[in-house]
Amino acid sequence: MAQKPQTCAEINLGNLLENLKAIQDHVAPSRVIPVIKADAYGHGAIPVAKAITNNGFDLLAVAQFKEAMALRDSGIANPILIFGRLLPHELPEAVAAGFRISLFCTEDIDWIEKSTLGQPAVVHVNLETGMGRVGVIAENNPDFFSRLTASKACVWEGMYSHFSTSDEKDKEYAHQQLNRFNTFLARVQTWSKKPAIIHMANSGGLLDIPESRFDAVRTGIVMYGHYPSTETSHPIALKQVMTFKTYVSHLRSLPEGHPVSYGRRWVAGKPTRIAVIPVGYADGLPRTMTNQGEVLINGTRFPMVGTITMDQTMIHVGDASVHGGDEVVLWGDSSAGSLQLLALAERINTIPYELTCGVSSRVTRVYIGPHSS
């Protein structure tokens, strides 16, 4: 029986695992820390985590305590590094669950020492080297490292930093960050207590700055099958993991001069046909795609026309052979062809991360491939 038309984000776990294996081969002997924050960049953290951990990837990373707890509650027993700052009330549960806690400043050590934890907190120090977001600013926290190395409440497992420009062609600033990190690591090497896992590279770093791979790389976007930008090298044959699809819900003919959608931002230049798809910005199709986006129907590209609305978007199909119920690919791969998310993202001045994260909960995730049941 033919499949019922539906709007869905099809998540190909086979592609995810192939990408991960290719990344692991590329960075060996460094380890891969899969980054599955923000619901695995919109792909679904629990099914993604299950697929990954069944295939031998140990340490996972998320942004929030809540995200780590959801993984534990679903039965994922692996160590989970939390990038975000934990609040004092979250510490007892986080430590009991074995989460790896990122430290940002000396106050975090105070909080850990004042909490009743029952066991030491396993911590990773995020060192500010130029990202300008979070991480220990050594000069502002003069006693941070002496407190950490003396603390019986903390087990210092990891030390990391984060690049702000590793996805850009010009790697000068990234190398400055790396140099700052290396200078600090040289000091750490002289201490009696030092961390076992040093990590810095994100996707841009693991692709183009081999010296930043250290013991492990934190990989997000390349694992999901997208290069972080067109400016990095593209050495791995990545496969897109998400295919965002819908169907033609309605076909209509418009006379010459008929406007389409809010603001009349597109007007039919001649009598023509429009396919309506039941997807809009409430599903995660950015409104900035208005008159910019393209879709794939039966292997042919057609333009989105008129303002993207909350729930519906219009496609100009002219006199092509398009029928109600036909599958419409918004991005990703299908048997009839592929629409690269990175190209689409660049066209509307954004990044693939924002587009996959933005696919809303109204869109059903359908898992295919190994561990999809």
Nearest to 15 by CA among 194, 251, 281, 224: 224
Q: Measure the CA–CA gap between 187 and 194, rounded to whole angstroms.
A: 10
Q: Cβ 297 to ligand PLP, closest distance in Å?
A: 31
Nearest to 302 by CA among 288, 320, 316: 316
Q: Cβ 160 to ligand PLP, closest distance in Å?
A: 7
Looking at the Cβ atoms of 124 and 371, the one nearer to ligand PLP is: 124
Minimal CB distance to ligand PLP: which residue?
220
225 binds ligand PLP (CB under 6 A): no
| Interface with ligand PLP in residues 15-44 (CB under 6 A) | 35
Q: Report the DSSP beta bridge partners of residue 247.
A: 327
Identify each DSSP E strand in 58-182 by its residue range. 60-62, 80-82, 100-103, 121-126, 154-160
214 binds ligand PLP (CB under 6 A): no
Count interface residues toward ligand PLP (CB under 6 A).
Answer: 10
Looking at the Cβ atoms of 165 and 246, the one nearer to ligand PLP is: 165
Looking at the Cβ atoms of 241 and 275, the one nearer to ligand PLP is: 241
Residue 210's alpha-carbon distances to 93, 166, 213, in angstroms, are 36, 11, 6
Q: What contacts 179, CB < 8 A, 6 or more positions away? A: none
218 binds ligand PLP (CB under 6 A): yes
Q: Which of 21, 114, 169, 262 is catalytic?
A: 262
Strands 8-12 and 364-368: parallel
219 binds ligand PLP (CB under 6 A): yes
Considering only the stretches 49-57, 148-156, 220-228, 259-267, report the one whose residues sit in contact with ligand PLP under the rule CB under 6 A: 220-228
Amino acid 81 reads: L
Strands 300-305 and 294-297: antiparallel
Q: Cβ 224 to ligand PLP, closest distance in Å?
A: 8
Annotate 169-233 with DSSP letters as a single string. Answer: S--HHHHHHHHHHHHHHHHHHTSSS--SEEE---HHHHHH-GGG-SSEEEE-TTTTT--S-TTS-
Q: Cβ 201 to ligand PLP, closest distance in Å?
A: 8
Active site residue 169: no
Q: Cβ 351 to ligand PLP, closest distance in Å?
A: 9
221 binds ligand PLP (CB under 6 A): yes
Active site residue 37: yes
Q: Of residues 30, 203, 240, 356, which one binds ligand PLP by CB under 6 A?
A: 203
Q: What contacts 195, CB < 8 A, 6 or more positions away? A: 124, 125, 156, 157, 158, 159, 188
User: Where along the sequence are the contacts to ligand PLP (CB under 6 A)?
Assistant: 35, 83, 162, 202-203, 218-221, 228
What residues are labeled active site?
A: 37, 262
